[in-house]
Chains A and B, each alone.
Chain A
């Protein structure tokens, strides 16, 4: 069983569209994250949720809205997609959100905005 799974793996869409990426973890972890990896491989945290509560919300356009229906799921909805949103988006989880904890990553969603 995949520990952290995200769908879809690839997403190609037009500018201006609205799209969602889903993430689920079956590890029983309390904390989940969204990271964005740009074309230069730079990995930057976007959001962190602990037990469905927003903990970290970095400087991200409000077109990006995370939703956590339960602690095993953290979905990312993006409105009015722009060319600059093209990147690989990684979901991750950790047991309690402690800075000493290992992060468990999904395999990424490659988003291409045309």
Chain B
């Protein structure tokens, strides 16, 4: 079965700074990869997804992610973080079902 690792439990960045959230996956074939965001008290919302083709994918709210097969990674990036980006971010792998990483909590400093 597939699995997902998010090495960073909590990240703090200053507003306006760049952001990178790490995600590593394990799966025997080409995975379907996703990033979801969860705001406090809410369900998860899809930011972006990768199936095939261009390894750099654009998502909503100015986020992008890059698929690197050699590193089994799918890191999420944003050039300039806004205070409203503070949330929990989940990387996920879709195969037999959707498996989520443990999440990375993002705090944004003013």
Chain A interface residues (CB < 8 Å from chain B): 4, 33, 35, 40-45, 48, 56, 90, 92, 99-103, 105-108
CB < 8 Å neighbour of A103 from B38, B46, B51:
B46
Minimum distance in angstroms from B51 CB to a CB of chain A: 6
A43, B90: Cβ atoms closer than 8 Å? yes
Chain A residues contacting B103 (CB-CB under 8 Å) are 41-43
Instruction: Give the segment of B14-22, B61-69, B73-81, B94-102 that binds chain A.
Output: B94-102
Q: List 18 A-B contacts (CB under 8 A).
A: A33-B98, A35-B100, A41-B88, A42-B102, A42-B103, A43-B103, A45-B99, A56-B97, A92-B44, A99-B97, A100-B94, A101-B94, A102-B34, A103-B98, A105-B43, A105-B45, A106-B43, A108-B42
Evaluate whether A90 and B44 lie within 8 angstroms (CB atoms) in the complex, with A43-B103, A99-B95 already known: yes
**For residues 23 through 48 of chain B, which have their beta carbon under 8 Å from a beta carbon of chain A?**
32, 34, 36, 38, 41-46
Residues in B lying within 8 Å of A, measured CB to CB:
32, 34, 36, 38, 41-46, 49, 51, 88, 90, 94-100, 102-103, 105
A107 touching B94, Cβ below 8 Å: no
Is B44's CB under 8 angstroms from A99's CB?
Answer: no
CB-CB under 8 A from A105, the residues of chain B are 43-45
Whether the pair B43, A45 counts as a contact (CB closer than 8 A) is no
Q: Is B41 within 8 A of A48, CB to CB?
A: no
Are B42 and A99 within 8 A (Cβ)? no
Q: A41-B102, A99-B32 are in contact. Are A90 and B43 (CB under 8 A)?
A: yes
Q: Is the CB of B45 within 8 A of A41?
A: no
Q: Which residues of B contact A106 (CB under 8 A)?
A: 43
Which among A41, A42, A56 has the highest number of chain B CB atoms within 10 Å? A41
Q: In the complex, are the beta carbons of A100 and B42 less than 8 A apart?
A: no
For the complex of A and B, list the 7 residue pairs with the smallest distance between their C-beta atoms, beginning with the closest: A105-B43, A99-B94, A43-B100, A41-B103, A105-B44, A102-B46, A100-B32
